[in-house]
Chains A and B, each alone.
Chain A
Amino acid sequence: MSENFETMLSMSFPPAAFYLHAAPILALLIGGLIALIAGVFRGNPDRPNMLAYQIGFVSCFPSVIVPLILLAAPGSFGANTAQPPAWLGSGFLADQISQFTFLIVGLGTMFTLFMAEISNAGRQLLRPELVCLLLFASAGIMILASSGEFMTFFTGLELMSVSLYVLVGYQRQDTRGLEAAVKYFLMGATASAIILMGMALIYLNIGSLRWSDLPALNISLNNPFGVIGLLMFLIGLSFKLGVAPFHTWGPDVYQGAHSTLTGYMSTLVKVGIVMVLLRVLGNGFAGADGGPWVAKVFWVLATLSILVGSVFGLVHNSIKRMLAYSSIANAGYFCLAFATLALAPKSAEARQAVLAYTAIYTILNLGAFAILAWLEDSSREDLLKEELAGLGKKAPFAAVCLTIFILGLAGIPPAAGFFGKFMLINSAVSVGLVGLAVVMVVLSCISLFYYLSLLVEIWLKPATRSSVNPQDNEDARDVRVLVGIVAFASLLVGLVGPRWVASINPTFAREIPVQSNEPKTGDSRSENLSPAVGAVNPH
């Protein structure tokens, strides 16, 4: 009896190494709950929400420390072995891609919390609910980036999305924020449903929810359910990533949300989705034309995204809208990487390029939106392009940092963005996507117009009456230090980042098969499958 109980315990609880690997997620979830309770206790009357903020900040520590330990220590806990393990039935993959994501998301969350704490407008936002929602959203991103099958992925996706719907409409009196939240909610929920329906069709075909079983999917016109299912799945994810032609919610939501949160949304959310697509595509597809078919889908998405991002950015005056279109253009670059991955799923170079570009893009966009949040703080919401005039004279430091970020997003050599794009295009050309690479580069040149028009406003135009007057007080000093660190980091990552990323082992974790008396599921599935699929197939 007791022996039975012990075996049951050992079967239902994962080993200790799991808790170390998953510590970032667990700490964020527990920290979020504690932060919510902490709102009840009021310590310092001047800063009633300090306690929740501190709890939130501390709960991000594991997501920085644990990945650093696991990425640095060779051979420890299976993370650096040739075949990293997975736990919870592929629900949690303990590989270096997961740890890499945890590190980015942890640092990004700490940055967002810190930005909210040191700016005036941010401090009005910073209530225990904000801390709780931010931590839950980050935990959702981590869950979805480390999931190896659909159910965990969907849970993480919804944890992230539902937290974000609330965060966008967090200022309940602000009509624009609420409008953005409602739009985001309707679009996001529809996208979730499309992902779900797509996965139902894929599941109908392969009888499994694991990404590692996706190569069993027959991609050809004889199998319309499989093709439509995969297409719906990819379209749903493109919705969440903000890829054109599914980008329409992006600019509205970015403009309506508070800048601190916009920075969070435009970067970390994409990190999670990008990692999912990396895992889905990295397993490869069946048949000789499976991979090329998926690559064609991403070919179209990449071209449309870079076109929309470059051209529509020109006509807008609001800086947040311009940055939103810039992030659509950057999503186009991610699609280029996915097209590469679809053609060469096992290519370590392509996977590392995606990781490097994700890190670089996150740093650049977080920094740019942090400066915007600071400038908005001292004047008003939703800055226009003209209002930056003369910033180079009034606040040279902020102007220099903003210039570094804008150059990076545009992909001009000294800044980090160039190296990321270089790696992406390099890996794309090496698998034969020359045409797409040329399209990307040519259309990027169009986007230079609006990036450079921002720089012209900052450095060359004289200040006018409408231009911003950055606040200069104690808060501003903190912001300056923080933004300076990010600007420095973006340069540093641009220089040493590619080499560091090349040291990351991009192998996906696989579940260790459990020793049991059950027949091998893979075989029985494929036998059961064919009549069922044949029966529902109208052809």
Chain B
Amino acid sequence: MLTLPELGLYFSFLLFLVGLAGVMFRKNILFMMLSVEILLNAANLAFVCASKLTGTMDGQVVMFFVMAVAACEAAIGLALIIALYRTKASIEADDLKALRG
């Protein structure tokens, strides 16, 4: 029988996979950004559960830092997406082909 923190840990792995799949397979940049947020939250959950499992407080402190950082990243990402939409009128990843590569 899994305890709650272990269950949370496995759930965070699942979330992480969902987020990773979203970043890799989604074509809409807005959804890719949302998937990155899922990734960060998965890591948060893993940190909190690991904190409970190891009996140390460090992980819970990291969670607060990561929440602040995720907010910054969301702000920057949205700003970039809006600026991109204004110049290209599209936020599809496939339309990003001015740079060959």
Using a CB–CB distance below 8 Å, which chain A residues touch chain B?
A: 150-151, 154-155, 158, 162, 165-166, 169, 172-173, 175-176, 178-183, 185-186, 189-190, 192-194, 196-197, 200-201, 203-204, 207-209, 248, 251-252, 255-256, 321, 525, 528-529, 532-533, 535-536
Residues of B within 8 A of A529 (CB): 54
Residues of A within 8 A of B101 (CB): 248, 251-252, 321
Residues of A within 8 A of B51 (CB): 203
| Complex: A252 Cα to B80 Cα, angstroms | 16
Residues of A within 8 A of B12 (CB): 200
In the assembled complex, how far is the CB of residue A166 from the closest CB belonging to chain B, in whole angstroms?
6
Q: Which of B16, B73, B87 contacts A162 (CB 8 A)?
A: B73
Query: Is B76 engaged at the interface, CB distance under 8 Å to the other chain?
Result: yes
Asked whether A197 lies within 8 Å of B43 as measured between CB atoms, the reply is: yes
Asked whether B54 lies within 8 Å of A179 as measured between CB atoms, the reply is: no
Given A178-B83, A190-B36, is A151 in contact with B65 using a C-beta cutoff of 8 Å?
Answer: yes
Q: Which of A158, A176, A178, A209 contacts B62 (CB 8 A)?
A: A209
Asked whether B59 lies within 8 Å of A185 as measured between CB atoms, the reply is: no
Residues 61 to 85 of chain B near chain A (Cβ within 8 Å): 61-62, 65-66, 69, 72-73, 76-77, 79-81, 83-84
In the assembled complex, how far is the CB of residue A353 from the closest CB belonging to chain B, in whole angstroms?
32
Number of A-B residue pairs, CB cutoff 8 Å, is: 147
Q: What are the nearest 6 A-B pairs in CB distance?
A: A193-B39, A207-B54, A200-B46, A196-B43, A204-B50, A532-B53
Residues 1 to 58 of chain B near chain A (Cβ within 8 Å): 3, 6, 9, 12, 16, 19-20, 23, 29, 32-33, 36, 39-40, 42-43, 46-47, 49-51, 53-56, 58
Given A166-B76, A182-B96, A185-B77, is A528 in contact with B54 using a C-beta cutoff of 8 Å?
Answer: yes
Asked whether B36 lies within 8 Å of A178 as measured between CB atoms, the reply is: no
Residues of B within 8 A of A181 (CB): 80
Q: Which of A158, A172, A178, A182 contacts B72 (CB 8 A)?
A: A158
In the assembled complex, how far is the CB of residue A444 from the closest CB belonging to chain B, in whole angstroms?
23
Q: Which of B19, B77, B79 contacts A193 (CB 8 A)?
A: B19
Asked whether B50 lies within 8 Å of A176 as measured between CB atoms, the reply is: no
Given A190-B23, A204-B46, A536-B6, is A178 in contact with B87 using a C-beta cutoff of 8 Å?
Answer: yes
Asked whether B61 lies within 8 Å of A186 as measured between CB atoms, the reply is: no
| Complex: A386 Cα to B54 Cα, angstroms | 60
Residues of B within 8 A of A175 (CB): 87-88, 98
In the assembled complex, how far is the CB of residue B40 from the closest CB belonging to chain A, in whole angstroms?
5
Asked whether B66 lies within 8 Å of A154 as measured between CB atoms, the reply is: yes
Asked whether B58 lies within 8 Å of A203 as measured between CB atoms, the reply is: yes
Residues of B within 8 A of A201 (CB): 46, 50
Given A154-B65, A180-B99, A182-B80, is A208 in contact with B73 using a C-beta cutoff of 8 Å?
Answer: no
Q: Which of A186, A207, A533, A536 contacts B36 (CB 8 A)?
A: A186
Given A151-B58, A183-B96, is A535 in contact with B6 using a C-beta cutoff of 8 Å?
Answer: yes
Asked whether B73 lies within 8 Å of A204 as measured between CB atoms, the reply is: no
Chain B residues within 8 Å of chain A by Cβ, number: 48
Asked whether B65 lies within 8 Å of A208 as measured between CB atoms, the reply is: no
Asked whether B83 lies within 8 Å of A196 as measured between CB atoms, the reply is: no
| Complex: A183 Cα to B36 Cα, angstroms | 13
Residues of B within 8 A of A203 (CB): 47, 50-51, 54, 58-59, 62
Asked whether A204 lies within 8 Å of B9 as measured between CB atoms, the reply is: yes
Interface centre among A183, A185, A529 (most CB of B within 10 A): A185
Asked whether B36 lies within 8 Å of A165 as measured between CB atoms, the reply is: no
Asked whether B55 lies within 8 Å of A207 as measured between CB atoms, the reply is: yes
Closest to B101 in A: A252
In the assembled complex, how far is the CB of residue B43 from the closest CB belonging to chain A, in whole angstroms?
4
| Complex: A410 Cα to B80 Cα, angstroms | 36
Asked whether A186 lies within 8 Å of B9 as measured between CB atoms, the reply is: no
| Complex: A415 Cα to B84 Cα, angstroms | 42
In the assembled complex, how far is the CB of residue B52 from the closest CB belonging to chain A, in whole angstroms?
9
Asked whether B76 lies within 8 Å of A162 as measured between CB atoms, the reply is: yes
Contact sample, A vs B, 13 pairs, CB 8 Å cutoff:
A154-B66, A158-B72, A162-B73, A165-B80, A178-B84, A179-B98, A185-B80, A190-B20, A192-B73, A196-B40, A197-B43, A204-B53, A209-B62
| Complex: A529 Cα to B16 Cα, angstroms | 24
Closest to A253 in B: B99
Closest to A251 in B: B101
Residues of A within 8 A of B46 (CB): 197, 200-201, 204
Q: Which of B36, B50, B54, B55 contacts A189 (CB 8 A)?
A: B36
| Complex: A208 Cα to B6 Cα, angstroms | 18
Residues of B within 8 A of A155 (CB): 65, 69
In the assembled complex, how far is the CB of residue B47 from the closest CB belonging to chain A, in whole angstroms?
5
| Complex: A176 Cα to B83 Cα, angstroms | 12
| Complex: A533 Cα to B53 Cα, angstroms | 8
| Complex: A402 Cα to B77 Cα, angstroms | 36
Residues of A within 8 A of B36 (CB): 186, 189-190, 193
Given A151-B65, A204-B53, is A162 in contact with B72 using a C-beta cutoff of 8 Å?
Answer: yes
Residues of A within 8 A of B23 (CB): 186, 190
Residues of A within 8 A of B56 (CB): 207-208, 525, 528
| Complex: A172 Cα to B82 Cα, angstroms | 10
Closest to B24 in A: A190
| Complex: A532 Cα to B52 Cα, angstroms | 9
Interface centre among B23, B29, B58, B61 (most CB of A within 10 A): B58
